[in-house]
Amino acid sequence: MTNFRRAALLAALIASVVVGPAPWRVPAVAAAEPAKPAISKEASAALAQMGASLEAKAFSFQARTIRAYSAPNKQLLHILHVFKVTVRRPDRLLVDVAGDDGTRKVMYDGSTLVLALGDGKRYASIPVPNTIQGMLQVAVGHFGVDFPLADFLTDAPAKSFLTGVTAGREVDTVTIDGVPCRHLVFSQPPGIELELWLEKNEQSLPRRLIVTYRTLPGEPNFIAEMSDWNFTIHPPDADFAFQPPEGAVQVEPTPAMAAKGMGGNQ
């Protein structure tokens, strides 16, 4: 299972392609005999329920995110985005993004990934595989950028989330927007902590995610609040097909453009 957080953050650390830490994870140092992850029964069961729900044929949700990033003078700053995500498995994805740095749209129609900025007058496209997970792998590998909530969109969300994790447990139960939620905490070497809040019911849907990077300057984090989950949608193919507006210009895809398109910061 590809660890998307790992791939993007490693690329950012090596190449400084994306300003600010990516919420996909750094790989742990290889050991001769990797220890079996110490995940509690309660945490494992909640994640399994979450994975089953997110393997649904089609669904949509909204996420409000705050990401920390380093300014040129190394000062730690924050940028906010609102994502509206529509998924139709196995090969359709639509992401509308509005944030402090403008608006953009990500559209995947099963063969092409399009990143359109603002009103769509500037856009880039690349050929990609015919699955959402394959598309995400190409996007990360091609640009070295991240899509913050990728683990929840993969073929096996629970397994993807746990990739690289060495320990996990349930802390307590809290209420988010009137819904009881399990507060779970996970660790991944070196120095990455993940907190995940899942609804305390059969669906076990994600409601909040915080990723903290203890080994990076300033210990920055990524925060996402998820809501408006809808599993009754039936989006047609047309919803995922990009139609360039009159006068639109296709440009060469760059890491900076991809970072903006996928909720990063450049």
Tens of pLDDT, residues 107-163: 999 999 999 988 888 999 999 999 999 999 888 877 665 666 899 999 999 999 999
Contact indicator for 108, 93 with CB cutoff of 8 Å:
yes
In a domain, 30, yes or no: no
In this structure, what CATH number is given to the domain that contains residue 189?
Answer: 2.50.20.10
How do residues 215-224 score in pLDDT, each as one tens digit?
Answer: 888 888 899 9
More confident residue, 100 or 26: 100
Count Cβ atoms below 10 Å from residue 239 Cβ, excluding itself.
13
| 28 in any annotated domain | no
Whether 52 contacts 102, CB under 8 Å: no
Confirm whether 91 is domain-assigned.
yes
Helix, strand, coil percentages (3-state) for the chain, rounded to 5, are 20, 40, 40
Would residue 186 count as lying in a domain? yes
**Residue 42 lies inside a defined structural domain of this protein:** yes
Task: Say how many domains are in the chain.
Answer: 1
Confidence of residue 43 (pLDDT cuts 50, 70, 90): very high
The pLDDT value given to residue 217: 81
Contact between 231 and 58 under an 8 Å Cβ cutoff? The reply is: yes
**Distance between CA atoms of residues 261 and 145, nearest Å:** 10
Residue 29 lies in a domain: no
Q: Please indicate, yes or no, if residue 266 is contained in any of the structural domains.
A: no
pLDDT at residue 145, rounded to an integer: 59
Give the SS3 label for residue 9: helix
Q: State percent of the chain over pLDDT 70.
A: 79
198 closest CA partner among 85, 66, 49, 23: 49
pLDDT value at position 72? 82
Is 31 contained in some domain?
no
Domain ranges, residue 49: 4-22+36-261
Rounded Cα distance between 199 and 176, Å, is: 9
Cβ 227 vs Cβ 208: under 8 Å: no
Closest CA to 117 of 100, 136, 139, 96: 96
**Residues in the chain, total:** 266
Long-range contacts of 128-136 (CB under 8 A, 24+ apart): 130/90, 130/91, 131/90, 131/91, 131/155, 132/87, 132/89, 132/90, 132/91, 132/92, 132/93, 132/108, 133/2, 135/91, 135/93, 135/108, 136/4
pLDDT at residue 244 greater than cutoff 80: yes
Q: Are 89 and 58 in contact (CB under 8 A)?
A: yes
